[in-house]
Amino acid sequence: MTNNQPAPEEQAPEKMQSIQNLKGEVAFRRLLSRQHVTGEVLLPDYFGKDEHDAILAGRVETTRRDMKRLASQGVSLSPFVELGAERCHRAMVLVNEMGAAGIAADISLDQLRTARHFASLFGWRNLPLRVCCDVNHLPIRNRAVPFVFCYEFLHHFPDIKPVVEQVHRILADGHFYFSEEPFKRPRVRLYRQRAKIYAKHVLRRSKIVRTLEKFISEPWSDELEHGIVENDRISIAEWIEALAVFDEKSVRLASVGGRITSRLEAKIRLANLPNRLLGGGIAGLCRKKDDFPPSVPGQMTDLLLCPDCLAAARNSQALSPNWESSPDSIRCAACGSVYPIVDEVVLLLERGLFKNLYPEHVAGRRSP
């Protein structure tokens, strides 16, 4: 970097992930899925299979608790869309324990393919419809579902507002729930950490030391090494602007492991000053009011749109199984594009992105 070039944090932020970010995401998740299913050590500074299974069990319990609470508050959980579903463990809580139906969406085909492995781990039989797609061009109909949710997802984007707008578009009269996301903490970047944040010797350090490092250093991880966006600098102002599209909001800030909490609001008050100073995590439930309730789909594929039609700003019609020429694909009735189904996962990516991310499956992807 020359002296007259701005540092990365001084550059104008991009609105969406670059193709390199997405390629890095796919490559990293491919290694991660193998490590956590087979036990191979492909990422030595990341959690191994047994550690990951224990972490996943904790996430399942958190999801179970959260969804029961939302249901008790009158939130309709079905049909749903989960964004950043990864292994589908959270979506499977809904379809196996809450009587819900829905779509689990993620950019990683490899992670979505592990769902049956993890369903077996937790003793579940039912899976959601799994869709490999790009959330920036979400191939789901307008006003399709009453419930959209995500955990640890929004911070993988340089700008959360376009993603939240996609959520708002696919919501009918219903709710958006998000959790385990960061909001900006003040940080003096004195150095970049040499060890990755999940390395065993790093995790053996005291929590106090690791917490202090967050304020004075730039973290390093396998995700960053692969070029994945890890945006922990989302300001309170950015969160407020992104969530402004919703009619009602109940959003909480939490710092110091949840010991200090306050409501998300624009004004600086004594009640929220500690959170603003310390940074931390954010979670919330947002409501979209709409006069058009969601239609009841005959099957989950009725909610899908054609990415090629979306990219060309054409009206998309129904996507239906392509039984005549290939039972392992789905076809757009409007433009004729065909999308492959790999291990029960529908690959709904527009053709340019498809070729870049999944060239090994491009033979099953046909455009008119």
Report the range of poorest mean pLDDT among 210-214, 245-249, 314-318, 354-358. 314-318
Q: What is the mean pLDDT of residues 322-340?
A: 84
Outline where the chain has alpha helix (H). 19-38, 49-72, 89-97, 109-113, 115-121, 161-170, 200-203, 207-216, 222-225, 236-243, 273-278, 307-311, 351-357
For residue 24, tell me if it sits in a domain.
Answer: yes
Quick one: how many helices (H) and strands (E) in the chain? 13, 14
Instruction: For 49, list phi and psi in degrees, rounded to 5.
Output: -60, -50
pLDDT, tens digit, for every residue of 87-130?
999 999 999 999 999 999 999 999 999 999 999 999 999 999 99
Q: Are 309 and 315 in contact (CB under 8 A)?
A: yes
Q: Within this chain, do residues 283 and 309 fall inside the same structural domain, yes or no? A: no
Burial class (CB in 10 A: 0-12, 13-18, 19+), 308: buried
pLDDT, tens digit, for every residue of 26-84?
999 999 999 999 999 999 999 999 999 999 999 999 999 999 999 999 999 999 999 99
Q: CA separation (Å) from 216 to 31, 201, 219, 352?
A: 30, 19, 10, 41
Q: What is the mean pLDDT of residues 154-173?
A: 97
Q: Are 310 and 140 in contact (CB under 8 A)?
A: no
Q: Within this chain, do residues 243 and 99 fall inside the same structural domain, yes or no? A: yes
Nearest to 178 by CA among 238, 231, 248, 250: 250
Q: Within this chain, do residues 214 and 342 fall inside the same structural domain, yes or no? A: no
Q: Within this chain, do residues 359 and 220 fall inside the same structural domain, yes or no? A: no
Q: Within this chain, do residues 205 and 341 fall inside the same structural domain, yes or no? A: no
Q: Within this chain, do residues 123 and 258 fall inside the same structural domain, yes or no? A: yes
Instruction: For 158, list phi and psi in degrees, rounded to 5.
Output: -60, -30
Range of the domain at 196: 14-288
Who wins on pLDDT, 314 or 341? 341
- In the listed set 256, 288, 320, which residue is the last one of a domain according to the structure? 288
Q: Within this chain, do residues 200 and 127 fall inside the same structural domain, yes or no? A: yes
Flag whether pLDDT at 5 surpasses 50: no
Q: By three-state DSSP, how is residue 224 classified?
A: helix
pLDDT, tens digit, for every residue of 194-250?
888 888 888 888 888 887 887 888 889 999 999 999 999 999 999 999 999 999 999
DSSP state of 187: -
- In the listed set 232, 259, 288, which residue is the last one of a domain according to the structure? 288
Q: Within this chain, do residues 99 and 67 fall inside the same structural domain, yes or no? A: yes
Q: What is the mean pLDDT of residues 139-164?
A: 96
Amino acid at 270: L
pLDDT for 54: 98
For residue 296, tell me if it sits in a domain.
Answer: no
The overall average pLDDT reported for the chain is: 91
DSSP state of 90: H
For residue 245, tell me if it sits in a domain.
Answer: yes
Q: Within this chain, do residues 229 and 319 fall inside the same structural domain, yes or no? A: no
Tell me the pTM.
Answer: 0.92
User: How far is residue 229's CA from residue 185's CA, in Å, rounded to a whole number?
Assistant: 17
Q: Within this chain, do residues 324 and 238 fall inside the same structural domain, yes or no? A: no
Flag whether pLDDT at 4 surpasses 50: no
